[in-house]
Structure 1
């Protein structure tokens, strides 16, 4: 081999080695410039919501760009091998880096475009906004040019138990802050909430692609009791962190009600595989029952049960309805069962509107519903009044929020115990193949009826609380599809979006499907359009849901192991194949 050939090969190897490092340092430089741009003014007038005219102090919209740039820089430093950052990239840095850099750029660009659209001219942008857009584009372009370094995560070094506890507590604290930030965004600033959704979506995807989410999941699995306790403490701490009183706590209460009902539906759909399109009717049964027996002035019964009795009555009534409706219909399967349950939901809503004393017996006051439902009272603690706890004033909705935390904890306990029990395994067997399960001795009808009745009872429990939170019950609240959740369509979507058969999946799906319409009310006319587009994208890129169980993940991604093989292994395999071919040719 000649000296010129050796020189050329050495130069090529050097370029291959230094190119990623150059790109990574470009990413770091662009991220630092992006951070600096958030301390500049992005517009000259306060007419744009959020006041982006201040120098030296980032506004909330600029803070989102700052956070994205800091995360991008951290991942770039991890890819460079800087000590102390390697734990960020168990499965490689390139995908996570590109997603984070792209998310930061999209968030920044969205803010700049919003300023132009809101104020009406390009000249309304200050130079700081231009610097931010250009600086954020540099890491996005550089990260896209990086070579793929995807690899299987090496076994993590074992941490002391106290360190794992700190990791869990820290993760939940960050999660609480992120959720609180999103709920607390001012309704008059929809740009802030949209930018928040963009950045959180990209960041969550990046954490999953880097393998960090999987490692955190393993840590929480090893410390279940600490995980449960941390999640409960963080959830209880939410109303104490609200700076605006009950303004946004009502949204949190409705999210919990929505999520509790979705968990009940998850038993029917996610575990037993029964497509129920009228499930919201069971929520209405519980709500109407509680309204009739809780002392409402327009109640036809004129009785006032204590809440525990009203809750049990609502659960029992919903369970009875579940058995009565399920007994003749659960012998059907698939589309036929879906049509029958859809009919039941519509029959319930119409019946509640006709029991007004004219079209039928006077029980529900017809379309006017049952108003003036009194607030709950436990041992002299009135849920409708403000109370000072630990020096912090809690309003009425904060009281109901804490009550719903207890209700949800009960529902989660029932779901987890039932799912891991003998009947839970029978539900899964029925869902996977009812014919095979029946051949193995499982009584399919009885198992499905238990799932239907249990799901109805849990929905009825949530309905009893909803009646007192809203202080009124009307038939229009329990439609198959409507502008405001919960309704049957949104409940089913929450289960599918979050991940069927899991506990956290429907909770996350419910939070997204309730929070987004509540914060983006100006898009109400296009809400269903956006909802449909989101479901199409979800089915295309993540058909198992945002938080999927292992079975669904394996079913939908059974070939991913071959696709995600380590690049170096693929290259060595290809080199080995070429070497074998050369040897055979030489022979």
Structure 2
């Protein structure tokens, strides 16, 4: 889409746009080899000439990508790598962000501009020149790759893409420097959007659709291989297990919010109910129930209790909607927390030990496999959190399967119809109240399953773990990731659980950054990071190009399915 600024720049500097862009890109590329500061402790030592640190390799990569697309725009390689101007603009934007973020980190950490070396001015000026000049490049329609790639090569590309995602995630989790962590996230985001600009992302998306089973298998292998990339780090695996618990709970909330369109602000209570059931039936010395059944029985019981809470809260409250439903569910979340505080033997029966909670919950033991003990596999030590990671991975897989089946079923279509237009759905004979109640109970059931494992993972359960802020983060994961999608919610849950852990150096400003992220996402991509086609069209009704693109994708998918059926 061409803006007024683009039109102005194209009219004034159109002939100089390409050479100026190339000069800016070469400055960015050269700047990665320069000396940025004198302090070796910052950013992995950026004090040497022609001996780049990892952050400087990112800048070099962005510069090289910019040069590549500028050259292909003027040569015969344009057919193989289309979308030159759009790709150059995306490269310029993220070059500016990465370079100036690193510049700001040096200034903030060392206390002033005087701590900068002249070498960092080269990529800083080059990125700005590249950004302005790239806006004057002539606009082109969205790029689409027409590579004639055989099936085995597409399968290799799928495997390579997921392998890169695995190692990028492992590298990201191993970063203790918050500035490097954020910079790498921005760099990876830039690479993804650059790939989208020249059509590679769309090409891979078609490959993922054509080879669904291969993609699923590769994703499962990458997920199970993740602990082997962490060198036995309990700290990193602890974060990974928390992400999976958060993701499993968010997928359950996605049924309520993403499919049925019901705003639930007290969903964390269902996770807490499952956790308390798991704690009370555990072998802890502080457990308040003397019966200790097998854990699989406890999981089912905890999920059923959470589903019952969903039915109890849903029956009287689902007759209201909108803001009123949000207020009622918010109240339910607070009622649950206060009730757990009062079940201390003084204000009520002694089931939860009140504010003290239930501590000393022992680790799980399945058929002699102790989750609390480290195990060595292929010469790599897997600690306690790695054991829980594998268990939670199986749980998330089961929850994803349940969500996918429900989404594609008659019930799922009924939920979507209710979300789109409740009155029209009721006129078509859909049982509105029954399906709403089923959404609440089903979502609560999945959260209860995750809660029973969370109790053993955390070793203790206390009421202050289940506050309103946790419900808000769960809802944000669904909205930011993409309502109604599995991949979007998994990505949103990962980001929102990972950022607070890695941005501790921002201290009290973490919530401010979280709020800014919400504002930016709602402005530029309200449908979420990985959105369903329906949500994209709902939120961009005026975007004819997007509608045409989505119609083409739907037609291509249907044609692929027909070809697959014909071959079968």
How is 1:220-239 mapped onto 2 (pairs within 5 angstroms)? Answer: 220-239=208-227
| Contact in 2 for aligned 1:495/1:506 (Cα 8 Å) | yes
| Contact in 2 for aligned 1:498/1:508 (Cα 8 Å) | yes
Offset of residue 105 of structure 1: 2.4
232, 236, 256: which is aligned to 2:244? 256
Instruction: For structure 1, list consecutive stretches of 5 or more residues without a partner in the other structure.
Output: 1-15, 482-486, 567-587
Match in the other structure for 1:490? 473
142, 145, 157: which is aligned to 2:136? 145
Match in the other structure for 1:301? 289
CA shift in 2, pair 1:239/1:513, >3 Å:
same
235, 239, 243: which is aligned to 1:247? 235
Q: Say whether residues 1:508 and 2:491 are aligned partners.
A: yes
157, 167, 185: which is aligned to 1:167? 157
Normalization by structure 1: what TM-score?
A: 0.87
Match in the other structure for 1:94? 85
Match in the other structure for 1:569? none
Match in the other structure for 1:13? none
Give the Cα separation in 2 of the matches to 1:214 and 1:320: 43
Give the Cα separation in 1 of the matches to 2:222 and 2:546: 38
| Contact in 2 for aligned 1:110/1:195 (Cα 8 Å) | yes
CA shift in 2, pair 1:255/1:75, >3 Å:
farther
CA shift in 2, pair 1:87/1:350, >3 Å:
farther
Secondary structure of 1:248's aligned partner = helix
Q: Say whether residues 1:366 and 2:354 are aligned partners.
A: yes
Match in the other structure for 1:551? 534
Offset of residue 146 of structure 1: 1.0
Offset of residue 244 of structure 1: 5.9
How is 1:110-509 mapped onto 2 (pairs within 5 angstroms)? Answer: 110-149=101-140, 151-154=141-144, 156-186=146-176, 189-243=177-231, 245-481=233-469, 487-509=470-492
Secondary structure of 2:234's aligned partner = coil
Offset of residue 24 of structure 1: 4.1
| Contact in 2 for aligned 1:386/1:396 (Cα 8 Å) | yes
63, 71, 78: which is aligned to 2:57? 63
Give the Cα separation in 2 of the matches to 1:175 and 1:534: 22
| Contact in 1 for aligned 2:46/2:53 (Cα 8 Å) | yes
| Contact in 2 for aligned 1:25/1:76 (Cα 8 Å) | no
Offset of residue 383 of structure 1: 1.3
Instruction: For structure 2, list consecutive stretches of 5 or more residues without a partner in the other structure.
Output: 1-9, 550-568
Q: Say whether residues 1:45 and 2:39 are aligned partners.
A: yes
Residue by residue over 1:353-409, the C-alpha shift from the partner in whole angstroms, topping out at 9 and shown as x without a partner, is 111111111110111111111111222221111111111111111111111111111
Larger Rg: 1
CA shift in 2, pair 1:86/1:307, >3 Å:
farther
Offset of residue 144 of structure 1: 2.2
528, 532, 549: which is aligned to 2:511? 528
Give the Cα separation in 2 of the matches to 1:470 and 1:454: 24
Offset of residue 132 of structure 1: 2.9
| Contact in 2 for aligned 1:385/1:396 (Cα 8 Å) | yes
Offset of residue 26 of structure 1: 4.9
Secondary structure of 1:393's aligned partner = strand
Give the Cα separation in 2 of the matches to 1:507 and 1:100: 27
How is 1:561-576 mapped onto 2 (pairs within 5 angstroms)? Answer: 561=544
Secondary structure of 2:293's aligned partner = coil
The alignment covers a number of residue pairs equal to 539
| Contact in 1 for aligned 2:30/2:122 (Cα 8 Å) | no
| Contact in 2 for aligned 1:356/1:364 (Cα 8 Å) | yes
Deviates more, 1:451-460 or 1:532-541: 532-541
Secondary structure of 2:376's aligned partner = strand
